[in-house]
Structure 1
């Protein structure tokens, strides 16, 4: 590795040739000066050359964070995740890591853990949820990890940052009275079976809209959850695999649920007969009169209207799932069975979400323990 030293006025400077630019092929050099003596400059130059030869030196990246995060997301990260996930995280990157980020126009090599913590505090002040800020943190961590692998920075500043602990928002669920009022209000609506299935099975909205007739075993009264429907801008409606491996599951249902589904099937037969070739048969359980996928956003608009008409507490579609789970758990259904029904990764996830709903009657515990102790006592005291 070539290097030389020269004197400039009263100080000394060293210059070392770096490997040529891998993209342009141009010559590159590292220059450092203001050494008081030639000996001091030569010692520093030798140390730098050793670092360079052993691969310990990393040239500071002058790439702007905003340029890097966009390139990382578009050319790397988005190609490794589901299209629906990429779309939601694309918004997060644009909104919070580029437009609403104080260090967006800083170079990669200057960003610190303090900068990142300041970003999190800004989001907290703007009243974003702690869980959402943790998602921003996860994106930053992944992005900076890749920057390290690409030799743009030496270490990941996000790993030294301190994201807020998740504070679970209060769960909104309906009482039996509100469930019945909402279903009464929904009767006669084309979307009634969708809301009915959500309340009676705990299925996610995308899982319900992605349901096909081949997924339903009417004889065994079982629904097989195999896919989910989502709408992605510029791509349209797409079917993807469920959220986790455990989300692919079998859900036993009652006779009443089967009857509701059979009525939907009969309605579709009438549509096909009336429309003939104009009907687009996608085997979907829930579709438009032309057989096309239901717009997920339209389901939400209808739900808001029906909630207002029924005069019940306003909740999200996902809270229908929470309502289903809370009813089962409050009536002593085994948490392992509830977890399998909801498609959680494991019962621990279910417990973390619904622990506050589990019956907490401990009045008989002391007597049970005392009785067991007495029954297993070898010699009376």
Structure 2
């Protein structure tokens, strides 16, 4: 009969448990995957047995014991080391977001201890601190991949990021809907005409006319628009070839923003956009300004849209210019009784305006999807649905007038 082993306090030690001469405790067992003898230590028997539960749970479920000491940051470093298929700009953005927001917070936690409530609490802290929901989306994207990678490696059983952002995004959407300024996501026809005429006739803002007319009348993303070079314009057939993205994002190592050229955001983004007459005229105006872009980015030069110093535009100065134009335009419009522009006018609103114009003109969903460079129809449909609400109201009024006649 096996001899019963006890510690110095007289407690019975179970199979695999040992007390060292120093008084600390050790548990030895065999890893079911590698058949190696593994060991964990603890200062007390109670602490050892808590660690035993986790270790044995791993043995029976296939989770590796090595995960006991891993932090979320360790898992991120493992994921980053082997992750393939990301554009350089996407990878840079992921790393920057992780190092800025996750590394010093959730990233310090032990991987095995992270629960969904921890992830939700982390997102809530960031949101309450002023971070936008779309930024949280990016953080969720990279974190979800990190935890998925840890599951594939056998370090954890479930992904605590699954649907962790769902409730917060719903709350954010409701908050935005409650704030009526966010309902004006597009310019109506009168606002578009006012916007263009104000820039064209204003001595301070007229150099912005070709910039924002081309943006609004083609629906290009900012990164696509600022990445345009003159060779992309086919003046013979009146077509713009969208072939690349230009981004200006922080470098994870230096935290300084740098310019990059990459392929379009999606395969669908690689497309041709026919030019309307207004776009052709706007590009002619841009040519007449004779602004030569001095920048060469990742071997690409000849950018169409550059500031007066010859440097290619990026999103921040464009959005700032739109806010200034909106403010100045509205001051004048109030005096003259003309249509007002949204005070929060920004680049993406011009892209949505283009898509809404397609809906207003009765362009079919597939063609609109292709022109916008959307990779899934749901994105296009979301804009079309909002646009067609007004169209339905007008249709009912038309039918009502017909029935009365």
TM-score, with length taken from structure 1: 0.73
Counterparts of 1:131 and 1:281, CA distance in 2: 30
Alignment of 1:26-37 (within 5 A): 28-30=38-40
2:90 paired residue number: 85
Answering whether residue 239 of structure 2 is matched by residue 222 of structure 1, we say yes
1:181 paired residue number: 194
Give the 3 Å change call, closer, same or farther, for CA 267–319 of structure 1 in structure 2: same
8 Å CA contact 2:184, 2:342 repeated in 1? no
List per-residue Cα deviations over 1:319-358 (Å, max 9, x = no partner): 0111122122123222222221111114332002331211
Q: 1:348 aligns with which of 378, 388, 393?
A: 378
Answering whether residue 303 of structure 2 is matched by residue 284 of structure 1, we say yes
8 Å CA contact 1:198, 1:208 repeated in 2? yes
8 Å CA contact 2:352, 2:383 repeated in 1? no
Instruction: Name the Cα RMSD after superposition.
Output: 4.0
Counterparts of 2:159 and 2:364, CA distance in 1: 43
Give the 3 Å change call, closer, same or farther, for CA 347–156 of structure 1 in structure 2: closer
8 Å CA contact 1:58, 1:154 repeated in 2? no
8 Å CA contact 1:14, 1:31 repeated in 2? no
Answering whether residue 198 of structure 2 is matched by residue 196 of structure 1, we say no
Give the 3 Å change call, closer, same or farther, for CA 110–347 of structure 1 in structure 2: closer
Counterparts of 2:191 and 2:219, CA distance in 1: 17
List per-residue Cα deviations over 1:54-89 (Å, max 9, x = no partner): 983521624463532552465355x64223333443
Counterparts of 1:116 and 1:218, CA distance in 2: 52
SS in 2 for 1:197: helix
Counterparts of 1:183 and 1:64, CA distance in 2: 57
TM-score, with length taken from structure 2: 0.69
Gaps of 5+ in 2: 17-27, 177-182, 252-256, 331-340, 400-405
Answering whether residue 15 of structure 2 is matched by residue 14 of structure 1, we say yes
Counterparts of 1:5 and 1:250, CA distance in 2: 81
SS in 2 for 1:7: coil
Answering whether residue 324 of structure 2 is matched by residue 305 of structure 1, we say yes
Instruction: Quote how far apart the aligned CAs of 1:34 are.
Output: 7.1
2:280 paired residue number: 258
* Number of corresponding residues: 337
Gaps of 5+ in 1: 36-40, 367-381
List per-residue Cα deviations over 1:229-287 (Å, max 9, x = no partner): 1113357221111111111111111233223213323433x869xx9xxxx99222222
Instruction: Quote how far apart the aligned CAs of 1:130 are.
Output: 5.2
SS in 1 for 2:375: coil
Counterparts of 1:60 and 1:348, CA distance in 2: 43
Give the 3 Å change call, closer, same or farther, for CA 203–162 of structure 1 in structure 2: closer
Alignment of 1:161-172 (within 5 A): 161=164, 163-164=166-167, 166=170, 167=173, 169=176, 170=183, 172=185
List per-residue Cα deviations over 1:200-227 (Å, max 9, x = no partner): 1111112111111111111111111111
1:327 paired residue number: 357
Answering whether residue 249 of structure 2 is matched by residue 232 of structure 1, we say yes
Instruction: Quote how far apart the aligned CAs of 1:160 are.
Output: 7.4
